[in-house]
Chain A
Amino acid sequence: MSPDHMIWISLALPLLAVGLIAFFGKTPDLRDGASGTIAGLLFIVTASLSIGVFSGERPELHLGEMLPGFEIAFRVEPLGMLFALVASGLWILTTAYAVGYMRGHHELHQTRFFACFAIAIFAALAAAFSANLFTLFVAYEVMTISTYPLVTHHGTEEAKRGGRIYLGILLSTSIAFFMLAIVWTWSLAGTLDFKLGGILSDAVAEDRISQTGLGVLIGLFAFGIGKAALMPFHRWLPAAMVAPTPVSALLHAVAVVKVGVFSVMKVCVYIFGLELLRETGVSLYLAYVAGFTLVVASLVAMTKDNLKARLAYSTIGQLAYITLGAMLATPNSVIGGGMHIAMHAVGKITLFFCAGAIYVAAHKKNISDMEGLGRKMPFTFAAFLIASVSIIGLPPGGGAWSKWFLAVGTVETHQYLLTAALMVSSLLNIAYLVPIPIRAFMKPKSGSPDEPVQETGGWFANLQEAPALCVVPLCVTAIGSVALFFAAEWIYQALLPITMMPS
């Protein structure tokens, strides 16, 4: 099987899953089994594809032109490969988790839920493998639309409102800014292909676009890719938290938001070219916007008592790290940003899994109600703690490396204010994440006279964990976030080619 074939197989698998899910809609066991099996197959395919890609292959797939000059085409490069690996790997775990959650919670419309989910994964892979801006844009929009039914899954007034904000911001920014930026790029470069070193250097050399114009263009990209949640276009992310937790977990910690920052990185690396960005410095102001976002988002997160809302703001902050890395445009910062896509994905999905597990087992949404819960749900809260360490950026969490490279990037470009912002934000991360598991373990359960403290029966009998299908995935991802600490070298080597100049 050649790598070129593997591209279309990996794109077809999620679509096949949609078909199977719809077909087996009446028999949940078969349906969920099919979903899980395909998720596994997909991971195997992407993993075997990645071996070639990381050793320098660049398989391509052309699906044909829509209009002269631009086409739906795929070309796998390391950054996209890494993203595809993360998305497909976490899809397996999320499927398992979602089955546990949705059944444990007796949710309705599960078939629609899993079908839309698979479409979103398809969109994530299509974006990851896209060979040009147009394909990326199409995948981006498919993802926006396919996740809308997931966000409004409950169909309540609140869900409707959340969905309106979600779709409103994502669709408007993408139409008003992203598309404008694409058309502008097209008129400057005459192509939309992703190319190492960028495609705009000719236009700059021929003086067809001024420095200011270049700054506006990259601004259009950064804000137009609303999924990167750069302030002030971040409101959709907290709004989308009305969705069931597995959706928040995969889509709003992995697929949707990561498509956003991934697109930003791809634009910086393959449309502008790192060298152009460094020489002109046009992206620096966006680095400051990102710096502002990451501090402010962390501050807002501290004020939130609802666990999912706090995680949502935490996500906004962490996404800004990646954008920051892309905008600094040094090799180290870009690698740090790319690495953080993986590190944050694994960490944040663990946190969301935990939030869902707590909700299923104890029906608690607010942090203030979780005191003392750690004794009943030790696995969940232990996983929460481990993942928090990774998000904060402390060893042995994977996040330590990505934040290290980002900090190096700020120092290399002598933007010490941004270095300070990174440090402040990390402190804030500690302040809003760590107390949650600590208080859950340390504090006794407060004010619950109806539940007498059970002293008898030993430690194990006191457990009131969520269903195993919920707990096992979150333990796996927690372990994963530590394992990534030791895999950093491998990711670094894999991402190194994207920072090089084309030979």
Chain B
Amino acid sequence: MIDAIYAHLPILLIVLPLVAAPCCVLVGNGRAAYLLALVVSFLTFACSIVLLGEALDHDVIRYELGNWSPPYGIEYRVDIFSGFVMAFVSGIGAIVLVYAPLSVRDEIPASKHYLFYATYLLCMTGLLGMCVTGDLFNVFVFLEISSLSSYALISLGRTRRAPLAAFQYLILGSIGATFILIGIGLLYQMTGTLNMADIAARVPHEHGPRTVLVAFAFLTVGLCVKMAVFPLHTWLPNAYTYAPSVVTCFIAATATKVSVYAFVRIIFGIITPGFAFDVLPLDTELMLFSLVGIFIASTAAIYQDNVKRLLAYSSVAQIGYMLLGISMATPTGLSGGIVHMFNHALIKGGLFMVAGCFALRLGSVQLSDWKGAGRTMPFTALAWAIGGLALIGVPLTAGFISKWLLLTSAFETGRWPIAVLMLLSSLLAVVYVWRVVETLFFSEPSEAAANATEAPLRMLVPTYVLIGATLLFGVWTPYSAGIARQAAIALLGGTP
């Protein structure tokens, strides 16, 4: 029995939330749906941890869906990289659910609660599916599952701008997804297979037909939309700002990261770094857009009065750091990019949770309404300060680890101007983080803040789990930077 479950873990990871979602709808009761979603999300988390351990101990886990051997059937593959991404996506999904109920009760009409949890599970299914599958078309399908459910989740926001934000995201997201579909189609046309490993073995690189180049271009642009790389990020600020707090926590921490994952898979698995970076100038272009994006988005963040929008712009900037690391294509750089996916997921998830706590108690995410809230809600405000320091990249926080790896790899590859620019851009982060800290601690309390009480424990504890994790993974890195390094070495073809 145990063995049977063990053998089917890769599919359980998808089936559990996928089946639980309609169950939530059938239950039709917010509370029961919540409990179901909570249990399922923790089970999924457990599954992915076991899978990650398995991938670390042994080798790539292959699972043939319906016993159809690839390339006819769909193959699920768990290696270190996908296991790592799955683990933190499902982990954050579970923690956000622990945090969710009070915030959901506050922001979403009670009649829609069970639908909310169903959609949440679907979104998680899609994200995990993108990680676990080894089939390119399957990536598209799961991408659309997660995207469609996230459009729906975003539209649940309190203000009337939420549906509009969701709609704008839907239009851009669908264009991105269709681009990806075109890219997949062209690759299929060239290779006759959809299995990623197969495509990689067959795709003609240099001197190959131009179709391959066009396919890569479509895939890159499509994924850049989903990753919110500058200048294709325009959907992100509105979507993050107007979505319900819980949704923002989850999506900000996971959705863009999984797109980055898919991007890395395609570049290193199919296009191969040699072709993408040596023959094609993809690295220069990525670095250019990343750096411009980092500076513009960080500067934009400084001028925001809405804290969720501030964090959203900061997310756009942080994606730039991940892409910088990826485009270096050295073990250090790539592991820096990968570990930043994880670290940033913790940090941003934590910070959006803090924003959610304030939203619950103060009824607003406008910075002007947060004035002096540090006196009445000290623990929530302290969480912001710690998370903010991690975002800046102060030593002993997770943010420092990723920044250090990125910086050293910039020097290793002789690109010291990039190191200089990265450090200068951290200064912008200092400004936008500290603006909020000052408002929290050194302003005369606004009326709402003066009467506020500390955020409820049920929200504070999950917040501190994530914020505490940013501190933990700032000093203890075998399971963050260590795994990321192994993953990077595997992606680069086994030569450290």
Contact = CB atoms under 8 A, between A and B. Distances in A.
Direct A/B contact, Cβ within 8 angstroms = yes
A138 B430 contact: no
A152 B434 CA distance: 14
Contacts of A175: 392-393, 423, 426-427, 430
A41 B426 CA distance: 40
A145 B400 CA distance: 15
Interface string B415-455: 01001100110110010001000100110000000000000
Contact of B405 (A67, A155, A184): A67
Interface residues of A, number: 27
Interface in B459-496: 474-477, 481
B475 A66 contact: yes
Contact of A152 (B404, B410, B442): B442
A115 to B, nearest CB: 13
Contacts, number: 68
A213 to B, nearest CB: 10
A401 B65 CA distance: 81
A145 B433 CA distance: 14
Contacts of A176: 420, 423-424, 426-427
Contacts of A172: 427, 430
A163 B437 CA distance: 12
Contact of A138 (B389, B395, B410, B476): B395
Contacts of B477: 66-67
B395 A141 contact: yes
A56 interface: no
A179 B434 CA distance: 20
Q: Is the interface of A mostly helix, strand, loop or mixed?
A: helix
Nearest to A224: B423
B427 A138 contact: no
Contacts of A155: 441-442
B333 to A, nearest CB: 13
A183 B419 contact: yes
A187 B411 contact: yes
A199 to B, nearest CB: 15
A187 B407 CA distance: 10
Nearest to B389: A145
Nearest to B405: A67
B412 interface: yes
Contacts of B420: 176, 180
Contact of B394 (A66, A141, A160, A164): A141
A168 interface: yes
A129 interface: no
A167 B423 contact: no
A187 B408 contact: yes
A186 interface: yes
Nearest to B411: A187
A184 B411 contact: yes
Contacts of B424: 176
B401 interface: yes
A180 B423 contact: yes
A141 B393 CA distance: 11
Interface in A250-264: none
A236 interface: no
B488 to A, nearest CB: 13
Nearest to A140: B395
Contact of B438 (A137, A164, A183, A187): A164
Size category of the binding interface on chain B:
20 to 34
Interface in A44-101: 66-67, 72
A87 B251 CA distance: 48
Contacts of B405: 67
Given A67-B401, A180-B419, A180-B420, A160 B427 contact: no
B396 interface: yes
A190 to B, nearest CB: 10
A66 B476 contact: yes
B430 A179 contact: no
Nearest to B375: A155
A145 B476 contact: no
Interface string A139-159: 001100100000010010001
B113 to A, nearest CB: 41
Contact of A179 (B423, B474, B481): B423
Contacts of B407: 179-180, 183
B408 A186 contact: yes
A183 B404 contact: yes
Nearest to B395: A138
A171 interface: yes
A179 B422 CA distance: 11
A183 B409 CA distance: 9
Contacts of A152: 442
Contacts of A187: 408, 411-412
Contact of B481 (A67, A137, A186): A67
Contacts of A184: 411, 416, 419
A143 to B, nearest CB: 12
A183 B411 contact: yes
Contacts of B434: 164, 167
B434 to A, nearest CB: 7
B394 A145 contact: yes
A394 to B, nearest CB: 42
A180 B410 CA distance: 11
A81 B407 CA distance: 32
Contacts of B396: 138, 141-142
Contacts of B423: 175-176, 179-180
A212 to B, nearest CB: 13
Contacts of A168: 430
A38 B393 CA distance: 33
A67 B395 contact: no
Contacts of A72: 475
A160 B438 contact: yes
A328 to B, nearest CB: 29
Nearest to B385: A145
A171 B428 CA distance: 11
Contacts of A167: 430, 434
B475 A171 contact: no
A67, A141, A163 — most chain B CB neighbours (10 Å):
A67
Interface string A165-191: 001100110011001100110110000
Contacts of B394: 141, 145
Contacts of B474: 66
Nearest to B476: A66
A184 B420 CA distance: 10
A186 B410 CA distance: 12
A142 B481 CA distance: 23
> Which of A168, A183, A184 gathers most chain B CB within 10 Å?
A183
A184 B441 CA distance: 36
A414 B366 CA distance: 62
B411 A66 contact: no
Contacts of A163: 442
A319 B426 CA distance: 28
B483 to A, nearest CB: 13
Interface string B369-407: 000000000000000000001001111100001001101
Nearest to B394: A141
A132 to B, nearest CB: 13
12 contacts: A134-B395, A138-B396, A141-B395, A155-B441, A159-B442, A176-B424, A176-B426, A179-B423, A180-B407, A183-B407, A183-B408, A183-B411
Interface of A: 66-67, 72, 134, 137-138, 141-142, 145, 152, 155, 159-160, 163-164, 167-168, 171-172, 175-176, 179-180, 183-184, 186-187
Given A137-B395, A142-B396, A159-B442, 19 more contacts: A66-B401, A66-B476, A67-B404, A67-B481, A72-B475, A138-B395, A138-B396, A141-B396, A152-B442, A155-B442, A160-B442, A171-B392, A175-B427, A176-B420, A183-B407, A183-B410, A183-B419, A184-B411, A187-B411
**Which 10 A-B pairs rank lowest in CB-CB distance, beginning with the nearest?**
A187-B411, A138-B395, A183-B407, A160-B442, A176-B423, A172-B427, A175-B426, A141-B395, A180-B423, A171-B430
